[in-house]
Each structure stands twice: as C-alpha cells, then as structure tokens.
Amino acid sequence: MSPISHTKWTIVLLVPSTLAIFISVASLLLSTLAFAEEPISERRSFGILYTVWIRPEDKSATVKIRLSKHPEWVRWMRLYIDSDRYSDFLTSGEISVEGDEAIWKPPQEDAWLQYRVELESKRPGGRYDGYVTADWALLRADDLVPPIRSDIEDMTQSQAKLQFMLPEGWSVATSYPRYRSGRFKVDDPDRLVDRPTGWLVMGKIGTMREHIGESHVAVSAPVGQGVKRMDILSFFRWTVPTMQEIFPRFPKRLLVVSAGDPMWRGALSGPRSLFVHTDRPLVSNNATSTYIHELVHVAMSARSGPQADWIVEGLAEYYSLEVLRRSGTISEERFEKAHAKLAEWGEDVTDLEVDRSHGPITARAVGRLRQIDRDIRSRSNGTRSLDDVVRALAADNSRVTRQRFEELVESASQAGSNHENGTDKLKTHNSTPTIE
C-alpha cells in the first residue's frame, strides 16, 4: 500500500569401521561447535526495505517497512516511538500501539508496516535539530525509523536497503553507500536488525565529495545557506589523516551537513556524520575546533555512563587541540596558549562528576586528561599514551564509565614493565551485535 498524495514524486575413502565412527563423532562435535560460534557474516539474511515519502508541505514523512525476503523469520518487531510524532499505523499484519511502544507481528507473506512521522524537532531554547522547508529538509535518519527490538529466527540477520521518494527537483545526501538503483545500503555491524541512522539532508542541495586517506568524505548543505564546502573539505584534508592515525576505526564514510538559522547554533554528532551550524568557524579564536571536537565523538561513538560525561566531552575537546597541533594546523605556542586559557576557564571547578559536562567542566577535564597523558607516558617509559586509552574506549562499543577509564589508564601505565614480554596489549570489551 502506498501513500496517496498530489505531490509529484521521482524514485530517486573408506577406512576401518572403528576409525570411521571416531571421525564421524569428531566431525559432529566440531560442526556443533562451529555452529555455536558461527561468524556473523555466515548468518542467513532476511530482507528489509525502508521506503520514505517526504512531504514538505506538512513537514512530515510516510515510512513503510517491508520485509522483502523471508518475512517468516521475523516473529515480531517492537518500535520505541514518541507518540507525539508517530501516528497513522497501517500494516498487513497485526499492530498494537500502546504509549511509547508499537508492536508489529508481520504475516509470513507480503509483510509491511507503514506510519507517519513528524520531521521537525526542537531543542531546549527553541532552535531546531530537525527542520523542513519547502526547498529542503535536514534531520536525523534515526527519526525516520525509531529504535527497534525484534524476535527473529536464530542465526539470522537483516540485509537492509533504504529508498526515498522525493518531490521533483530534490536530491538526498546520506552517509550510506548508494546502489545504482538509487537505493542506499544500510549496514550496522553492531546490530542484527539494521535501521537508518545518522544525519541526512535533502532537497535543493549542493554536495562536494573527497577521498581522504581511507575515508570518503562528503559535505552537503541546502543551496543558499552560505556553507563553504570547499573550505571544510580542505580543512579535513589537513586534519582527518591525523584523526585516522589516532582512531584506526575512523569511519570509512563521513557526511557533514550544515545550515543556518533556525537550526541549532552549534554542532551535533551522529553515526558516521555530524551537523554544524553555518556560523561555527573551522577553528575558534581559542584554537579549539567544533568540527574536530564532533569528529572525535563520531570516531569514538562513545556514550557516557553515570557522571562520566566529563571523560567523553573532555576527550573530544582535548583531541580537538591535539589534532590541530599534530597536523601542524596550529603552532606549539598557540597550542600552549589554548591550554592555558582552558585551565583558567575551569579553575573554579571542584567536581567533574556531573550528569552533563559543560564549558568550565569540560575545560577543567582537558587539563586533567593532559596530566593523565603525561603520567601514562612517564610510567610506561614512553611506550604508551592517552591515545591507547581512547582507542580502547572506541573499540569497547559500550558506555564510558569512570571505572573502565581508570582500568585502561592503569593498563596503559603498566605497559612499560610488560613491553618486553609482549603482554602490554590493552584489553577491550568483547562486543556482540544486539537485536535492536
């Protein structure tokens, strides 16, 4: 079932018997173990096709989730919704909407779920982090498809695609690779059921792309917003290689979107993407960079645990300076002056462990982290640094806590005494995909 609208669309040996029995039993045991530990890549796949019809006239979208292959492998899907934004649920199966949850039980054939979502969203203070005009829309793909938890057949995973039905003359930029058909490949190795995430912009837009190291970088913004795409790409050509050295898991694809008022006058990171308001400079007068700060968030994909936000925000600000210094974007003298200003700004802070880190607390955290880096280098005889800690945190794929941070700092600090016998590798938490 497709939504109806007057808007015009474009689709963008044989052996002795005893030995034979032994071999058979051994083979059975081995195959059982292999099945129990079967790599994710060997899972069977069911198909999901997300289709999004954008309706700028009422600042909404109609979204259809179709199980395009093996729908019988999906028993149910639970969508965690904002009931003020998601409505008009239709389905070929059963749907139960109660409060902030919608539970869909798809049929075994022709399985689809459709709903309407309001696209605009405001932050405290009245500015937008999702906005729609007659000519463009800028928002998070996370808003199109809310978080999902599913009950699926064992040893299966999704193979998802995303397509947009846009008003005539519109195009779209996402952080996902595009098929020749115009659809996008949605793949999240950390989830068994993939859903679209990250920033996107669509409409009458301008996009510039560049390969920087191993990353495909795109800068996209609505036409007429005064976004200096070439300046941003040039800045990234100078700084992203340093980011890639610090963070080996730096995204292979990165999208930067930008627009002016009434969008949020700051910057916000997302999976493989970031939004930056047009008035934010590449480098501020205090020698920090909003762009690099948010890129650290993108590279780490880190969320803070209770009272550990100072670690996450402090690391982002600390490395915004480190990247600029190491890349030669700012001088050593400018680097030291920036640290001195941050120390002065945060000198009255007595407690870092708050729920949300802000200016002075983050400034004080930078000084704390710089001292921790010095201590690690000293205790490890120069074999380790804070870089090793932040890489391990990025590889953990879990919330950053003070306990975990301190464990990694101690492990890195002891590396000097373990370096010769080869036991100095920092341990990261094992991570497995989640069914959500």
pTM, full prediction = 0.85
Dist. CA 155–CA 150, nearest whole Å: 13
State mean pLDDT over 19-34: 41
Structural domains of the chain, ranges and CATH numbers in brackets: 42-280 (2.60.40.3650), 309-418 (no CATH)
CA 17, 19, 21 angle in degrees (round to 5)? 70
- Report pLDDT for 41: 57
Question: Is residue 228 predicted with pLDDT exceeding 50?
Answer: yes
Crossing angle for the helix pair 386-396 and 309-326, nearest 10 degrees?
Answer: 130
Lowest mean pLDDT among 2-11, 173-182, 203-212, 365-374: 2-11
- Report pLDDT for 206: 98
Write down the number of H helices and E strands in the chain.
9, 21
Mean pLDDT of the chain: 88
- 364-370 contact pairs (CB < 8 A, 24+): 364/310, 365/310, 365/311, 365/313, 365/314, 365/317, 365/318, 366/314, 366/317, 366/318, 366/321, 366/339, 366/342, 367/339, 367/342, 367/343, 368/310, 368/314, 369/314, 369/315, 369/318, 370/318, 370/339
Could you report the per-residue pLDDT of 138-181, keeping only the tens digit for each?
999 999 999 999 999 999 999 999 999 999 999 999 999 999 99
Could you report the per-residue pLDDT of 246-300, keeping only the tens digit for each?
999 999 999 999 999 999 999 999 999 999 999 999 999 999 999 999 999 999 9
- Report pLDDT for 42: 79
Question: Is residue 185 predicted with pLDDT exceeding 80?
Answer: yes
> Which helix (H) or strand (E) is 69 found in, with range?
strand 60-69
Closest CA to 112 of 167, 159, 71, 155: 71
Give the pLDDT band of residue 370 (cuts 50, 70, 90): very high
Question: Is residue 30 predicted with pLDDT exceeding 70?
Answer: no
